[in-house]
Every structure is written in C-alpha cells, then in structure tokens.
Amino acid sequence: MTKPSNVIGRQTSKFITRQVKAIAITFLIFLMITSFHKINAVADAELIIRFRAYVHGVPLELNKQYKNPFGESFEISRFRFYASRIAPVYTDSNIKSDGRLVYHLIDFSDSVSTRLVLPVTSGLCTGIRFLLGVDSLDQIRGAQRGALDPARGMYWTWNGGYQSFKIEGYSSVSSQPAHIMAYHIGGYRHPFSTVWKIRINTTDDIAFRLTKENKITVEVPIELDYFFDGQTPLHIREISSCMTTGEMAWKISENFVGSFNGLTLSKNP
C-alpha cells in the first residue's frame, strides 16, 4: 500500500542558530510592515472538524477485532492524540492562518473530544493544517491544566514530556503479557521528535468556502491500514510495543502521520 500523496508531514525544527534567529527577526519586522496590505484575519466563521478512525475503510470501533494489512489480528482499547494550531488552508495566501495555540486531546473513547468547533476566518479553502503532538516549548512550561493536565494520562514522568499519541490494545500475535499491544509514542527532542506539522488537502483538492452562513464539517479520516503498512512496516508480531522515545518512536510517528487521509466534506444543515 502506498502512502497517500496528499499528506505532507514535516518535522518541527528544534535547532535555531543565532544567525537564523537574526534573519527571522528581520523577516518578522518586514512582515509586520507589509502585513498592512493583508486581509485582516477576523474569526467570522466556524470550522467543524471531526476526526474519524478507519480500518480498511471501515469505521473503527474500540475493543473490536480487526486485521491489519499483514493479516495480524488486533483490537484497540485506547486511542488518543494531541492536535493544536488547527487552521484551514486558504487558496488566498494573504489570509493568515496559524491556528490558535489551543491543545485538543482527541480521544476515541470520548466521542465529544473527536468533534471540534473552531473560530476561523471566512474564505476559500483546500485543506487544513495542524500540529500533531505537543510543541517543544509547551513541553517545558511546567504544570498545566485542561488538555495538558498530566492527569489526562499522556504525560511521561521518567522522560518528562507529553506523548504525541497513544494506540493501545491487544493482539494475538503480541508476545507481551496478556497479548498487550501498546504504542505510546512521544519525544520532542531532536533528532527523534514525534511532533509533526501536518497538512491535509481535501480529496481531489476540492475547494470549500467557509462563510458565516455556510457551515461545513470537515472529516479527517485516519486510516489505520497506513499506520501498520506505512513508511516502516509495523508488524505487531515484531514490534508489539514502543513506550520509549528514540528512533523507533519517531518511525512509528511517521507512520501515524501517513495514516491521515484526504479530507471529506459535508455541509451542516
């Protein structure tokens, strides 16, 4: 199975030299001067996003048996990930859309958390972008609340930091006790950062217009076939768990990024 071409994942850069900083500051000043010409980004519309997980095109149900592309059976009991800075991708590049720095913990055992309503600027769009995981700066801000409350079960205590995502369950081919399958994927330090900037286009690049009246729900499908049969084939028999940072976690995170499929759109009544 090949990776869908409309998914672009890019690792956030951790290393900024002083020179780059100086250039960035100059550039920022330039931007500030020129930005008067830009369209004022007012949140006058709403974007509704629904994350949905699939296995081989069938909507995922927790605690139900499935088979991955390698014929290995598995079931998922926990599936969570962090998303932030969610923003539409506008056809008009003048519309700034960094997305608000709000962390959402998408948890498939809590359907409310999988549907987000975000205030955005109206305009013609072809996709969305967001940050998967928790940005390195927010990893070291100290005790936080809401989605980043360590009591939410996404914080690692021996290697301080938030996991980017967690897929946990059982598989008959797992050699772990009780056939546990556990991918607790985190790490924000260079070079094995599992924090990714993700941009997803609509299927066939169909543009959609966000206006005050035109409420659109964007469905973000996560196809778990690509999670297993991704850039690095993930055979449960060989790798039934990954709960530490490092190269393996980074590779698994790359597979996860690849499992975000093209957006589908639906109009809200």
Partner 1 sequence: MKSLRFISAIGLCCAIWTNTPYPFTVPKGFPLPVYRFKNNPRTRQGFELGRKLFYEGKLSRDGNFPCSSCHQQFAAFATYEHRLSHGFNNQFSFRNAPGLFNLAWEKEMHWDGGISHIEMQPLAPLLDPHEMAEDLENVISRLKKDKSYPVLFNEAFGSPGINSQHLLRALAQFTASLVSADAKYDRMKRGEVHYDEYEQKGYAIFQQKCGRCHQEPLFTDFSYRNTGMELDTTLRDYGRMRITGRKEDSLKFRVPSLRNVFLTFPYGHDGRFTTISEVLEHYNSGIIQSATLDSSLVKGIPISENDRFYLISFLSTLTDSNFIKNPLYSDPQLKGKIALPVEDSH
Longest Cα separation, the chain = 61
User: Given the rule CB under 8 A, which of 117-125, 141-149, 218-226, 232-240 is the region that contacts partner 1?
Assistant: 141-149
100 binds partner 1 (CB under 8 A): no
CA distances from 182 to 167, 225, 231, 242, 261 (A): 6, 17, 19, 6, 23
CA angle 228, 103, 60 (to 5 degrees): 35
| Torsion angle in degrees (nearest 10) through CA of 223, 61, 119, 141 | -90
Pairing of strands 196-201, 7-11: antiparallel
Q: Is 97 a binder of partner 1 (CB under 8 A)?
A: no
12 forms part of the interface with partner 1 (CB under 8 A): no
Stretch that binds partner 1, among 4-12, 26-34, 176-184, 187-195 (CB under 8 A): 187-195
Of positions 160, 175, 206, 237, contacts partner 1 by CB under 8 A: 160
Beta carbon nearer to partner 1, 61 or 149: 149
Applying CB under 8 A, among 38, 141, 209, 237 the residue interacting with partner 1 is 141
14 scored as a contact of partner 1 (CB under 8 A): no
- We find the least distance from the C-beta atom of residue 137 to partner 1, in angstroms, to be 11
Q: Is residue 137 at the binding interface for partner 1, with CB under 8 A as the rule?
A: no
Q: Is 143 in the site for partner 1 (CB under 8 A)?
A: yes
Joined tokens for residue 177: 């006790």
Q: How far is the CB of 186 from partner 1 (least distance, A)?
A: 11
Contact status: 56 vs partner 1 (CB under 8 A) = no
Give the chain's length. Answer: 269
Question: How many CA atoms does the CB half-sphere of 252 hold within 13 Å?
Answer: 25
Q: By C-beta, is 93 or 157 nearer to partner 1? A: 157
| Contact status: 99 vs partner 1 (CB under 8 A) | no
Q: For partner 1, which residue of 54, 192, 203, 265 counts as binding (CB under 8 A)?
A: 192
- 110 is a contact residue toward partner 1 (CB under 8 A): no
- Binding of partner 1 by 246 (CB under 8 A): yes
For residue 53, which of 108, 110, 3, 128 has the smallest C-alpha distance? 108
b/e code 90-120 from CB counts within 10 Å (16+ = b): beeeebebebeeebbbbbbeeeeebebebeb
109 binds partner 1 (CB under 8 A): no
* 83, 148 Cβ separation under 8 angstroms: no
Residue 140 within binding range of partner 1, rule CB under 8 A: yes
Residues in touch with partner 1 (CB under 8 A): 139-145, 149-151, 155, 157-161, 187, 189, 191-192, 244-247, 249
